[in-house]
Amino acid sequence: MTKKLYLVLGNGFSIDLLSHIGKKDIIDVVNLFRYGADVTWPCNDMAGFLSYRHCPNLWNLGARPNMSPEEAMDLVERVITCANVFALRKKNVPHGLENNTNKIYVDAYHELALYLRSLFTFYNSKVERILSDNFDWPWAKFIEFANKSDEYSEINIVTYNYDIWLERILLELEIPFSVPGLKGGDVDGAKINIYKPHGSISFYHKTQQESDYNIPYGRDIFPDASTNHFNLNHNIVLSRCLVNAMIPPAGDSTRMANTWSGQTSQNVILEAGELTANDELMICGISYWHVDRAELDNILVNVDPLVNVYMFNPNPNKSLNAVLTSMFSNYVYHTSSFSLKGRYE
- Residue 228 domain-assigned? no
**What is the chain's alpha carbon radius of gyration, rounded to the nearest angstrom?**
20
Task: Note whether residue 116 is domain-resident.
Answer: no
State how far the Cα of 238 lies from the Cα of 211, in Å rounded to an integer: 13
Q: For strands 3-9 and 230-232, give the pairing.
A: unpaired
Residue 9 lies in a domain: yes
Q: Is residue 85 part of a domain?
A: no
pLDDT at 44: 80
Q: Global pTM?
A: 0.93
Containing structural domain, residue 317: 3-25+131-203+242-344
248 in a structural domain: yes
Q: Give the other-Cβ count within 10 Å of 16's Cβ.
A: 21
Q: What's 43-61 look like in SS3?
A: CCCEECCCCCCCCHHHHHC
**The predicted structure's pLDDT at residue 252:** 55
186 occurs within a structural domain? yes
CATH of the domain at 293: 3.40.50
pLDDT at 302: 97
Q: What is the pLDDT of residue 90?
A: 63
146: enclosing H helix or E strand: helix 138-148
Give the span between the Cα atoms of 192 and 107, in whole angstroms.
38
pLDDT reported for residue 192: 98
Regions of the chain where pLDDT drops below 70: 89-101, 209-211, 218-223, 237-240, 242, 250-257, 290-291
Distance CA 327, CA 122 (A): 40
pLDDT of amino acid 142: 97
Identify whether 77 is part of a domain. no
Domain count, the chain: 1
pLDDT for res 222: 62
**Can you give the pLDDT at residue 285?**
94
- CB pairs under 8 A, 24+ apart, for 76-79? 76/32, 76/112, 76/248, 76/249, 76/250, 77/250, 77/251, 77/290, 78/105, 79/105, 79/108, 79/109, 79/112, 79/248, 79/250
Give the per-residue pLDDT at 134: 79
pLDDT value at position 236? 74
Q: Rounded distance, CA 187 to CA 176, Å?
A: 7
DSSP symbols for 103-133: -HHHHHHHHHHHHHHHHHHHHHHT-S----T
Report the sign of the C-alpha dihedral through residues 332, 28, 121, 61, in that order: positive
Domain contains 291 = yes
